[in-house]
Chains A and B, each alone.
With several copies, the nearest count.
Chain A
Amino acid sequence: MSLDTFNKECDTPNQAIDGAWLSARGLFCERDERILFSNLNFDFFPGDIVRIAGPNGAGKSSLMRILLGLSAGFDGALFWHGQDMNKSLYDFRSQLLYLGHQVGVKGGLTPEENLAWFNPKASQTQIFTALKKVGLAGFEDLLTHGLSAGQQRRVALARLFLCDKPLWILDEPFTAIDKEGVAELEQVVINHAQNGGLVILTTHHELNVPVKTVMLGTQESEMPLC
């Protein structure tokens, strides 16, 4: 699906389509007197992989924070499972896994302890398996702040293997990850969608995955380099 599908006048202006998990109607966001997006409408369904795309400064991160309810500076309506987001906030959050620019990994804890706090219910074996899957076997007991940039992000990515949350929102999850790592992460994302989950992500990497795209800021805010 392309930009038009999302941005065109919506048939059901004030309610979500049946069966959609996350829907938006008439989203509008302005920063520093520059309109980032206006009248944005979309419906995301289970099984979708949605890529929010656009050049630097287009408003991708801003849109994600709006979806998450972390940002108040916007107009429009959001729906979760067809219900007004404000009313189903608890349900939304209990189904959500979010990784942002900052991933919430504690330098003063070991990778194992970090995961244990995110998923208090996970057993030690589960945690070890997850860490092994992200290539951190043997690093479980070092403090995280001694790891390299990419390794620290891998600790956070291990959460993708641990949790059973159906909705993933990932802001540039591939930052600092090496090439093989990226390829394997893509596979994880595909698997999740095939199992009926919904993945919303941004990335500047080329993706080898079939995705829906929400394109932001293609007109005025495009910023070519040189």
Chain B
Amino acid sequence: MLMALLKRDLLLAFRARGDLLNPLMFFMIVTSLFPLAVSPDPKLLGVIAAGVIWVGALLATLLSLDLMFKNDYEDGSLEQMLLMPQPVMLMVLVKVLVHWLVAGLPLALIAPLLGLMLGLPNGGFQPLVISLLLATPILSLLGSIGAGLTVGLRKGGMLMPLLILPLYIPVLIFASSSVLAGVQGSSYTGHLAFLGAYLALTLVIAPVATAGALRISLAR
């Protein structure tokens, strides 16, 4: 059943191929707003590049979270899933996996290009990609809690950032400072180790919390 769910969700994502690019496009547009809004000065941009790229990635993930359960809720399939004879937790994990594949992974792959555009110094590229690879699953996992809590609400769109962004802050701090460390030529394994530990923590907490949240949202 889990395999069937995985297959179905990937098929749906693939059907809406155009949508697949949206988080990516959003990411690119948002980061390219900064040279316009702040200053085109390459030196200044190089300094803020790491932070800007990471904030952009975070917002792009956030926006795409809406899709995680919403459609399934509206057409009744979420109800059907909760009634299946299997732990809801596992279903959540499949959903998170699909979300990460569709909305998280592509960000990590496109990020170097944006780094190039914003003039990120050379040492930053490697930690940028590695931190994105490590941290985007955390964003999907924590995000699933928010998505689960808000799925029944018609006005979920703006509520979710409020619930989830504070929890994203450690990720943001460690990821962006790992890039800074890379730029300054110092070691960034410590930061990445932290991200790994946080990933392990959320991998334990998030599916349970999301499963509970979904139950509550559907009982409403």
Contact = CB atoms under 8 A, between A and B. Distances in A.
A104 B1 CA distance: 16
A93 B8 contact: no
Nearest to B87: A90
A106 B83 contact: no
A143 B75 CA distance: 15
B16 interface: yes
A114 to B, nearest CB: 9
Interface string B162-194: 000000000000000000000000000000000
B156 to A, nearest CB: 14
A104 B77 contact: yes
A73 interface: yes
Given A98-B83, A100-B79, A72 B11 contact: no
Contacts of A100: 76, 79
B80 A98 contact: yes
Interface string A54-72: 0000000000000010111
A106 B218 contact: no
- Classify the interface of chain A: helix, strand, loop or mixed: loop
Given A90-B85, A120-B1, A113 B8 contact: yes
A120 B5 CA distance: 9
Contact of B82 (A70, A108, A109): A70
A20 interface: no
B219 interface: yes
A107 interface: yes
B80 A104 contact: yes
Interface residues of B, number: 24
Contact of A96 (B5, B15, B77, B83): B83
B4 A102 contact: no
Nearest to A145: B154
Contacts of B77: 104-106
A90 B1 CA distance: 14
A101 B74 CA distance: 11
Given A93-B84, A93-B85, A102-B74, A120 B4 contact: yes
Contact of B219 (A72, A109, A116): A72
Interface residues of A, number: 27
A94 to B, nearest CB: 4
A102 B75 contact: yes
A31 B79 CA distance: 21
Nearest to A98: B83
B3 A120 contact: yes
A94 B83 CA distance: 9
A105 B75 contact: yes
A107 B76 CA distance: 11
Nearest to B74: A102
A10 interface: no
Interface string B1-43: 1011101100110011000000000000000000000000000
Interface string A90-129: 1101101010111111111100010011101000000000
B12 A102 contact: no
A120 B4 CA distance: 6
Contact of B154 (A91, A105, A107, A118): A107
Contacts of B1: 120
The 9 A-B pairs with the shortest beta carbon distances in the complex, nearest first, are A102-B76, A94-B85, A120-B4, A104-B76, A104-B77, A93-B85, A104-B80, A117-B8, A72-B219
Interface of A: 68, 70-73, 90-91, 93-94, 96, 98, 100-109, 113, 116-118, 120, 143
Given A91-B85, A108-B154, 12 more contacts: A70-B79, A93-B85, A98-B79, A102-B74, A102-B75, A105-B76, A105-B77, A106-B12, A108-B15, A109-B11, A113-B8, A117-B5
13 contacts: A70-B218, A71-B219, A100-B76, A101-B76, A102-B74, A102-B75, A102-B76, A104-B75, A104-B77, A105-B75, A106-B75, A108-B15, A109-B8
